[in-house]
Structure 1
Amino acid sequence: MVLKNKRILLCVTGGIAVFKAAGLASKLYQEGAEVKVMMTDSAREFVTPLTFQTLSRNTVYIDTFDEKDPARVAHIDVADWAEIVIVAPATANSIGKLASGIADDMVSTTLLATTAPVLIAPAMNVHMYEHPAVNRNMKILASDGYRFIEPGEGLLACGYVGKGRLAEPEEILSAIKQFFLEDDRFLEGKKVLVTAGPTREAVDPVRYFTNHSSGKMGFAIAEQAASMGAEVTLIAGPVNLETPPDVERIDVSSAHEMYEAVIKRSAESDIIVKAAAVADYRPKTVYGQKLKKQNEEWSVEMERTIDILKTLGKRKPSGQVLIGFAAESERVEEFALGKLEKKNLDMVCANNITQEGAGFSVDSNILTLYKKDGSKIELPLQSKKDVAIKILHDAVKMLKEKTVT
C-alpha cells in the first residue's frame, strides 16, 4: 500500500464540495494513511468536525488558539508532522490568502508554516475559476512549487455548467499516490553516501578511545535512502547493527580508515550524509604491545585527526548535497551554525544530547535542521526512522534546486 503510514494533513476550506473531502478522508484512512484534518470556520458550516474525526480517527483542528498541549504550538507541530498537505476543497479565498502570504486562521497559518509539499484541489464557481485574480494567484503558487489537482467540468452546485467542480476523491487519492511514488523514488539512479557510528582510536592492542555513538541514526538514513531508490554506500564504525536491505556496507574502525573510505567515494556521490561521530583526536603514539599497569600516573599525548567533513566541504562539487550532524550539550544553535558555515554544508542536523530521547543509543531523536539558505526546521521527538525520512525529503529538495540551477 503506497500510502501506508504516510502522514497526511487534509485542510478543508468552505464550499459545498466539503462532502467530497469527507469521502477523501475516509479513503485515505482505508489506504493505511495517518490522516489529520484541519477545517476553516466556513467549512464547518457544511460538515461538522465530528464527521472528519470519525472518518480519520484523529482530533480535528479548528482553532489556532485552542492549545491542548502546553509543550507544543499546535499549528507548528502539525505543520512539521505532515509529509504532505492536501487543500480540498480549496476556495478562491483560501488560494488568494496563500498566494498573498496571509495567515488569519489555523489553515492559512499552518500552510505558511509547513515545509511539506502542498497539493491544492480548487473548487468554485466557473466564473470565479476563470477570474484573472484567481488565475494570477494560482500562477504565483505554481511558481512557488505548489501543485494543483485540476477541477472537473459539469453542473456546479450554483447552477452553472463549466469548470470548477472539485476533483472526485478517487482522482485526488490517485494524485496523492502518484506524488509519493515520484517522491519516494526520486533518488532512483542517485548515489548516497552515509557514515554512521563511532570510531576507535587505538592506544595499544587492548585499549582504545571511542564515544557513545550507536550508529542508529546513520543506519536509519541509509535504510530510507535505499527505499527511495538510491544506490547507498554505508561506511560504518564499530557498531552492532544489521545492514539495511539493498545497502552496501563498508566497515571501518579508526578515523583515518573512515577518511580514506569516504574520500575514495565522495566525488561520485550525489548526497553525502555524515552522521558518524568521528574522533577529533587520536593517541600520538600507538604501542605494539599491551602496556602494563604502572604505579605512577599515565598520560596519553593526543593529536588531531583529519576533519572529514571540512575536507568534503572544500572538495564539494557544485551539484552535490552535503549534510552534517552536530551533537551538542550547550549553545546548540551557535555551534551548529558555525559548523554549517565553516565546513561549507548545505544542511546541518543539530541535537542537544542532554535532552531525553535525543541522546546516544536511543531509537528516537529531537533535531533542528539548519540550512544554508538561512532557514531552519525544528523536528519534535520522533523515531529516528521518521527523522531520516524528513532529512532525506529536504535533501531531495536541495538536490532538485541544484539540478535546476
Structure 2
Amino acid sequence: MAHITIFVTGSIAAYKTVYLLRQLQKDGHQVRVAMTSAATKFVGVDTFASLTHQPVLTNLFDQNDGKIGHIELADWTDLAIVAPASADVIAKMANGIADDAVTSTLLAVHAPTIVVPAMNSHMWEKDATQRNLRLLKTDGYLVMDPAFGQLAEGYAGKGRFPEPNVIAQFVEKQLDSQEGPLAGRKILVTAGGTLEYIDPVRFIGNRSSGKMGLAIAKAALMMGANVTLIAGTMSVPVPENSRLQTIRVRTTEEMLEQVDQQFADCDALVMAAAIADFKPQQMADEKIKKHAGENTWTLHLSTTPDILKRMGEKKQSQLVIGFAAETQDLLTNAQHKLASKHADMIVANDVAKAGSGFGVDTNQVTILQPHQEPDAWPLLSKDAVAQRLMRLVVKELSK
C-alpha cells in the first residue's frame, strides 16, 4: 500500500481521474488530491474530497493542522501522478516554475512521479511540448504516452487520456519495478524492537512500533532495491512485495544471527531496530511468583551483543547506517556512536522531543557522517525521512 497523490490539471479529461482514484483505492492505496484552478472548472473539489475523506489542496496558502499544506502533502507522498497533465503544467514542471499549489507541491515532491499527458493532438505534437517532455524524462519523471482516439474536439488524434485501468496497471508496475537508482542493490534493514525474556511470560522490551524501519524498507523498494527486512516486535503490518524478504525475530541474539547471515551480500545495512541493550543473566524456566512479605525483587542483567558495532568492524564495501535514539546530549552521544561503532552514518533523534521517536508518524533527525558537519533535518513524516535517507544511500553507494 502506497501514499499516492493525484495532481489534477486543466484538461477535459479531469473527470476520468475520478475513476482512476477509485481504482487506486480498490488496489489498496491511500490517495489524496491536489487541483489547479483550471481543473476545478471540470470537476468539483467536493467530488474528490468525498471520495478521499481528505481535504483537496487547491490553494498555495492552505494549511493542514497548522502545517504548510503543499509541503505536508509533498512529504506524505510515496508516488505522485499528474493526471491529466496539461501542456501548461508540463511546461512549468520542466522549467521548475512553481506558481500555484500543484506546481509548488510537485517541486517539493521527492517521490517517483508519473506524468500522464492529455491534450489536443496539435498541442501534443508541438516542438515545445516534446522538448518539455524530454526534459522531464531526463530529470527522472515517468511519462506515459497518451492514447490515440476520439478527442473532445470531435476528431481522432494522439493526446487522449489513457483509460484509468491502464494507468492503474502502469502504477502497479512502477511500484513493483526493479528499475530505479537502487536497482540491483540489496538493502538490509532492521526494524521494531527486540525482547529479552525474564521468564516464559515476562520480558524486557521497548516501545518501538517498527514504523521507521518499515518506511525505510518501503523507500528502498520504491527505488528498485531488493530488501531484506529483519523485523522484531512491530505494531504495523508489513506489505507483500516480490522484492521484499521479511525475517521475523524476537531476541537480540536472533537478530544478530540473521543480520550476520544476510550481511555479506548486502550493499547497505540500515539498523533502525530498537535493540534491547540488556538481558537477564538467566531466564527462569517457569513464571516467577510473588510471595507474601517480599516487596522487592532483584533482577541481574548483562549486556546484549552490539550488532551495529560487529557489522561496522566486519564491513568490507558495505555501507553501515545506525540509529541513535537519545533522551539527552543528542549530538555528543551520536558522535561517539558514529566513531565507536565504525559506522558510515548515524541517524540521531531525540525521542524525548514531541513528535519524534517511538509510536508517532513523524521524526526529527540529525544526520552524522565522518568528517562532516551534522545535518539537522526538520520535523518530517517518517516516510519523508526514509525517502531522504535512501537518497543519501544512493549518493554514498555511487562513490
TM-score when scaled to structure 1?
A: 0.68
* 1:375–1:262 Cα change, 3 Å: same
For residue 24 of structure 1, what is the aligned residue in structure 2? 20
Query: Aligned partners of 1:67 and 1:233: how far apart in 2?
Result: 35
Cα distance in structure 1, aligned partners of 2:236 and 2:22: 38
Q: Distance in 2 between matches of 1:45 and 1:128?
A: 20
The answer as to whether partners of 1:324 and 1:347 remain within 8 angstroms in 2 is yes
Q: Give 1:86 deviation, angstroms.
A: 0.8
Q: 1:47 aligns with which of 26, 43, 47?
A: 43
Shift, 1:166, TM fit: 1.1
| Paired residue secondary structure (1:268) | coil
The unaligned stretches of length 5 or more in structure 2 are 197-203, 239-244, 282-302
Relative to structure 2, which stretch is displaced further, 148-157 or 48-57?
Answer: 48-57
Which whole-Å CA distance do the structure 1 matches of 2:215 and 2:185 have between them?
15
Of the three residues 324, 327, 335, the one matched with 1:326 is 324
Structure-2 change in CA distance of 1:246 and 1:184 (3 Å): farther
> What letter is aligned with 2:247?
V
Structure 2 SS opposite 1:182? coil
Q: Which residue of 2 aligns with 1:38?
A: 34
Q: Which runs of 5+ in 1 are unaligned?
A: 201-210, 287-303, 381-386
Once the two structures are superposed, what CA deviation does each residue of 1:341-364 show, in whole Å capped at 9, x if it has no partner? 99886765443212245345xx33
Task: Output the CA distance in 1 between the equivalents of 2:308 and 2:51.
Answer: 48
Alignment-derived partner of residue 298 in structure 1: none
What secondary structure does 1:10 align onto?
A: strand
Which among 153, 158, 163 is matched to residue 158 of structure 2?
Answer: 163
Shift of 1:120: 0.6
Letter in 2 for 1:355: K
The alpha carbon displacement at 1:44 in A equals 1.1
How far does the alpha carbon of each residue in 1:222-280 deviate from its partner, in whole angstroms, 9 at most, with x for none? Answer: 9967x9695737497xx899998941638446xxx988985675332233111355799
Q: What is the CA–CA distance in structure 1 between the aligned matches of 2:135 and 2:119, rounded to whole Å?
A: 18
Deviation readout 1:70-109 (Å, 9 max, x if unpaired): 2x11111111112211101101111111111111100001
Cα distance, 1:118 vs structure 2: 0.8
What is the rounded CA distance, in whole Å, between the counterparts of 1:350 and 1:76 in structure 2? 23
Task: Say if 1:196 and 1:274, in contact at 8 Å, map to a contact too.
Answer: no
Residue in 1 that maps onto 2:292? none
Letter in 2 for 1:82: T
Q: 1:277/1:112 Cα in 2 relative to 1: closer, same or farther (>3 Å)?
A: same
Equivalent residue, structure 2, for 1:96 = 91
The range that moved more, 189-198 or 305-314, is 305-314
In structure 2, the residue corresponding to 1:364 is in which secondary structure? coil
With over 3 angstroms needed to count, the CA separation of the structure-2 counterparts of 1:75 and 1:314, relative to structure 1, is farther
Residue in 2 that maps onto 1:249: 249
How big is each residue's C-alpha offset from its partner over 1:143-171, in whole Å with a ceiling of 9 and x where there is no partner?
Answer: 22111121001232234532111111111
Contact 1:124 1:164 in 2 (8 A): yes
2:264 is aligned with what amino acid? A
SS at match of 2:63: coil
SS in 1 for 2:62: coil
User: Structure 2: how far apart are the matches of 1:279 and 1:247?
Assistant: 18
CA apart distance, 1:9: 0.7
Does the alignment pair 1:266 with 2:259? no
CA gap 1:103/1:240 in 2 versus in 1, 3 angstroms: closer
Q: 1:323 to 1:50 in 2, by over 3 A?
A: same
Structure 1 segment 139-154 matched on structure 2, within 5 A: 139-154=134-149
- Tell me how far 1:132 sits from its aligned partner: 2.0
Counting aligned pairs with the same residue, the percent is: 34
- Match in the other structure for 1:63: 59
Q: Which amino acid aligns with 1:65?
A: F
| Letter aligned with residue 67 of structure 1 | Q
How many residues matched? Answer: 360
Partners of 1:307 and 1:219 lie apart in 2 by 20
Name the residue aligned to 2:199.
none
